[in-house]
Structure 1
Amino acid sequence: MITNLFIILFIVGSLIISLILLNDRKYVSSRSVSSAYDSWTNDRLLENLWGEHIHLGYYPNYSKKVDFRQAKIDFVHQLINWSGLDKLPRGSRVIDVGCGIGGSSRILAKDYGFDVLGITISSKQVERAKQLTSKELTCDFQVMDAIDLKFKNGSFDGVWSVEAGPHILHKQLYADEMLRILRPGGVLAVADWNKKGDDKKTNFIEKIVMKQLLNQWSHPEFSTIESFRANLLNSSFSSSKVYTEDWTDFTIDSWHDSIYEGMRRPDVMFKLGPQSFIKGLREIPTILLMRWAFGSGLMQFGVFKTRG
């Protein structure tokens, strides 16, 4: 009962903040996603608080604290190793679908010697990614829609995509496009936020929470781990088994840490000014709802790997 009251309070808080400050960022089209990320990139709040990686971190022993920014770097290496991307030879061509400001792309290029192309729907993210990337790295960035990749079949040795799927309406097309551009024998690695498997067991409060998680961060829908695995298997470009794991336990500490970073780095708020402080406050209710959703089983953190 106390837990439900806690959730309701944060739902109400989130709604009030959204009404006072701005309308919610409900998904309308790919343009609404682009606009949201352009705004987040321009104000530099996330970059200054969380570093160059916007995705969650990996905590191998979740009873022991790990530096938040280091956990994000560790996550990239864990997914590379788990998926088998690290077995590709140096010089392999890899695409980062939904690259953000290029954090993962730079690790793929610098530490593994890959020729990396990062794509995102946000022109501001591309601009910032290029600014942050050394010219010595074999790493470039382009504006492109994940469901309309401008490449021939089999163009890449590896396909990498982290936390991009929730922003994409057509999940099957998203899977199809990634597999289409993957060469035979190439490696696909995906990590995403996923809803729990059985919608029929979602109660009234959970439905309200889920609506907030979709609307506040421009998500049209979440896949389940099982449904996105089926998207990969059912693709006409699929030629291999699809392996999945649930990494919720290894990533869940990221949600509280993403808030604590504001306390650890108060200088960021002073540097960016009061408007960024208000924007940061706006995100806290949604982050807390995310933490509750992943902790209660309403959401899961799924990872996927397959071969072309």
Structure 2
Amino acid sequence: MAQTSTAAAPGLKEGIAGLYDESSGVWESIWGDHMHHGFYDAGEAASMSDHRRAQIRMIEEALAFAAVPADPSVSMLADDAAKKPKSVVDVGCGIGGSSRYLAKKYGAQCYGITLSSVQAARGNALASEQGLSDKVSFKVADALEQPFPDGQFDLVWSMESGEHMPDKRKFVSELARVAAPGARIIIVTWCHRDLEPSEDSLKPDELNLLKRICDAYYLPDWCSPSDYVKIAESLSLEDIRTADWSENVAPFWPAVIKSALTWKGLTSLLRSGTV
């Protein structure tokens, strides 16, 4: 997996932190608690009002894909009960929407980390408002140097943060390090397509498109799902599975753009200086 000068550029962490310090309030007003894509049935047309529900579905689809129990409130087999997460790390937590959701769903102890001090403070404030301060906490920390001991968590969660990581192997290695034996590691992240056997790089128009996205969102080079699989295999992780949800998230952006074009959305963007 090639890394370029973008990945090693000085100030990458500062750029990411600054981006989310400045923009998180806007995205909260438009997206809500969850700063990630929504999940739709392939070909489904998204309406302006349902993207927040689709974001919750994204969480549930990720849990189902990893065979984490769907409904802990009903009677479970002993095997399923053992899979119920009790300790969770939310790597690249945003304002903590996933952590609060998982804490409410499972009663789990959740710890979120982000590079943004604004996000960490907002996440802790929302946890307090929702009576979750004893279950959920957030701090500023680097995902590539997590401030946790080995083997602490039985669910390691990364929802759309891997694309910010300049060293994908170190990123996955840290997720594996803090995972307890038998834990589930869930990575939902932006990837480029797998290369064909005859290719040694993406096409020029694909590279140009990705560069524009990287420049806008402080992203280092992307990698493919097969790159992640190779990393996971090299770390001796087991039961490695991938899925391409591109068609399932495609309807999300039109719905969000429509919501941003409401009066509330436009005034939020203007206040932030985003437009």
Structure 2 contact 144–170 (Cα < 8 Å) conserved: yes
Trace 1:131-150 onto structure 2 (pairs within 5 A). Answer: 131-133=125-127, 134-136=130-132, 138-150=135-147
Which 4+ runs in 1 deviate beyond 6 A? none
**Residues in 2 aligned to 1:27 and 1:58: alpha-carbon distance in whole angstroms:** 34
Shift of 1:273: 6.9
Q: Partner of 1:85: helix, strand, or coil? A: coil
Q: Secondary structure at the match of 1:187?
A: strand
Deviations 1:139-179 (A, max 9, x none): 11111110101222111111000111111101000000000
Is 2:137 the partner of 1:156?
no
Q: Distance in 2 between matches of 1:55 and 1:64?
A: 18
SS in 2 for 1:195: coil
Q: Which moved more, 1:63-72 or 1:243-252?
A: 63-72
**TM-score, length basis structure 1:** 0.75
Aligned position for 1:231:
231
In 2: Cα distance, 1:173 partner to 1:148 partner: 9
What is the CA distance between 1:213 and its match in structure 2? 1.0
More helix by share: 1
CA contact 1:233–1:241 (8 Å) conserved in 2: no
Partner of 2:202: 202
Q: How does 1:188-199 map to 2 (within 5 A)?
A: 188-198=185-195
Equivalent residue number for residue 101 of structure 2:
107
TM-score by length of 2: 0.83
Q: 2: CA distance between counterparts of 1:136 and 1:28?
A: 34
How many Å apart are 1:84 and its aligned residue? 2.1
Q: Are the counterparts in 2 of residues 27 and 219 from structure 1 also a CA contact under 8 Å?
A: no
44, 54, 73: which is aligned to 1:63? 44
Counterpart in the other structure of 2:28: 47
The CA distance in 1 between the partners of 2:223 and 2:249, in whole Å, is: 18
2:99, 2:111 within 8 Å by CA — same for their partners in 1?
A: yes
- The alignment yields a C-alpha RMSD, in angstroms, of 2.0
C-alpha distance 183-249 of structure 1, shift in aligned 2 (>3 A)? same
SS, match of residue 191 in structure 2 = strand
Distance in 1 (alpha carbons) for counterparts of 2:202 and 2:243: 22
Match of 1:252 in 2: 250
State how far apart, in whole Å, the 2-side matches of 1:203 and 1:242 are. 28
Q: Percent identity?
A: 27
> Is the 1:27–1:220 contact (alpha carbons within 8 Å) kept by the matching residues of 2?
no
Query: Whose strand proportion is higher, 1 or 2?
Result: 1
* Structure 1 residues 232 and 27: CA distance shift in structure 2, 3 A: farther
Correspondence for 1:274:
270
Q: What is the match of residue 5 of structure 2? A: none
How many residue pairs end up in the alignment? 248
Which whole-Å deviations, capped at 9, do the CAs of 1:213-272 have from their partners, x for residues lacking one? 11110001111000011111112xx34131111111111111222211113x322433x3
Pairwise CA distance, 1:203:
3.1
Structure 2: give runs of 5+ residues left out of the alignment: 1-8, 70-79
